[in-house]
Amino acid sequence: MLYYSTSRQSPSVNFKEATIHGQAPDKGLYFPEHIPALPPSFFEEFATMSREEIAYTVIRPYTGDTIPDAELKRIVSETVNFPFPLVQVEDNVYALELYHGPTLAFKDVGARFMSRCLGYFVKDIRKKVTVLVATSGDTGGAVASGFYDVDGVDVIILYPSGKVSSIQELQLTTLGKNITALEVDGSFDDCQDLVKKAFTDDELAQHLFLTSANSINVARWLPQQFYYFFAYQQWKDKEHAPVVCVPSGNFGNICAGLLASHSGLPVKHFIAACNANNIITSYLQTGAYAAKKSVATLSNAMDVGNPSNFVRILEIFDQQFSSLKNRLSSYSVSDLETIESLIQLYRKHGYLADPHGAVAFHAVHQYLKQYPGDKAIVLETAHPVKFYDVVEPMIHEKVPIPGAIKGLLLQKKISIKMDADYAVFKNLLLSRE
C-alpha cells in the first residue's frame, strides 16, 4: 500500500514513511492509493473473531510489508486490550463506550497503535524523533500515555491555556521524562497552526527529525476504524444496519468510520455531531467550505474552526458533494442543548454522558425525528469524569472517580507557558536539539 498527498505535489510513500513524516512535504495529508475491500468471508466469520483478529484483518492491507505479521499482531493486541462495550440507552439508541482505555478516551486506540508503530520504525533511525502534537483535550493525554518512556522519541504537546478540562490538563502535564507540555495562550487552531508551520520549516528539518501524533498521521487515523467493527460485532439487528453518530471536531474519528464503511462495514448513515463550531454543518447545507475562528464551548475537544481531516473525507467521496451528502448529515448543537441533553439522559435513562457524547445524543435525536424507524449508535468518546468540573454542576451530583484518576488529582502540573508565536515556538524547538 502506498499513500499519496491530498495536495498531489509530493511523491507517494509507504506506511512507514507516512507514519514517520506525519505530513507530506507539500502540506497535504497522506491518503491510501486505494481503499481495501474486505472479503465476504470476513463477515461470515465475524461473530466468532476476537477483537485482535478483527483489528489485524482491517489494518493489515494498510501497513503493507513495512511491519512483519508477528510484530503487527503484537502492536494490535496491545492497542485493543480493553473493552469496547455497546450499551443500550434508549429503545433505538445505543452508546459505544470508547473510554475504557488508560486515559479514558477514544484516542487511546490511535495513540497506542501509532506509538508502537513509531517505536518499531525508529529503531532504524539514529537521530532522535520529535513528535509534535496539538490537542484540544483528549489527544494530549492519550499521546502522552502512549509514548511515555518510548526510547528514541521526544513528545511535545501544545494545548490552549484554560481551554481543556482540569483532568485533561493533568493527563498531559504530569508525566515528565520524554513528554513536554506547552501551554499556549490561544485556541486549538493556534496550536495546530504552529505544528503545521513547523513541519514545513526547512531550517527546522535540518536540525530535528519531526513527526506528528495528531490524526493527520495515518498511524493515528487508520486504527480508529477498529471500534466501528467492534460495534457492529455487538449489533444484534444484522438485517438493519445502524446509523452512526460521532461527536466531531477535527473529523478524524468520523473519517475513519466512513473509511471502514467504504471497505464493507454495514452502516446506513453517518451523523457528524458538531457544537457551535459548525463549519461542516454549514458546508453540507450550502456546499461552500469556510473555515472560521473557533469558539469555546462546553464540549471543548470539538472546538475546531478548520477541521484538518475533512480533506480526507472529500477524498473518500472523490470530491463528489452529492455522494457525500447522501452518506453524511450534520447537526450543530448549542451549549444549552448540550446541557439539556446530558441532564435528560441522566434523569430519564440513568445514563451519564460526557459533554461531547451529550452533543451526539442531541444530534441523533434530531435525525430520528426525521427517520423514526432507524436505530442508531452514538460514539461516547470520553468518560464523564474527565469533565467532572463541567458535568457535576449540571447533575448536582459527584461523578464517580476511577482509581487511576484519584492518583492523578494528587499530581502537580508542569508546563511551559508561551504565546501563539511561531518564532518563539521555533526557538524553543531549536534549543532542545
The 10 Å Cβ neighbour count of residue 206 is 8
Q: Select which of 16, 107, 196, 375 is catalytic.
A: 107
Q: Which residues contact 315 (CB under 8 A, 6 or more apart)?
A: 6, 31
Q: What is the DSSP string of 280-314?
A: HHHHHHHS----------SSGGG--SS-TTHHHHH
| Cα atoms found within 13 Å of the Cα of residue 335, Cβ hemisphere only | 10
| Cα atoms found within 13 Å of the Cα of residue 10, Cβ hemisphere only | 22
Q: What angle do CA 10, 13, 60 make, to 5 degrees?
A: 145
64 touches 344 (CB < 8 A): no
177: left (phi over 0), alpha (psi -120 to 50) or beta: left
94, three cell numbers: 445505543
Give the C-alpha distances (Å, rounded to integers) separating 149 from 116, 123, 152, 178, 203: 12, 15, 9, 6, 28
Q: Dihedral (C-alpha) 249, 251, 253, 256: value to the nearest 10 degrees? A: 180
CA–chain centroid gap for 216, Å, is: 10
285, three cell numbers: 447545507
Annotated active-site residue 197? The verdict is no
Catalytic residues: 107
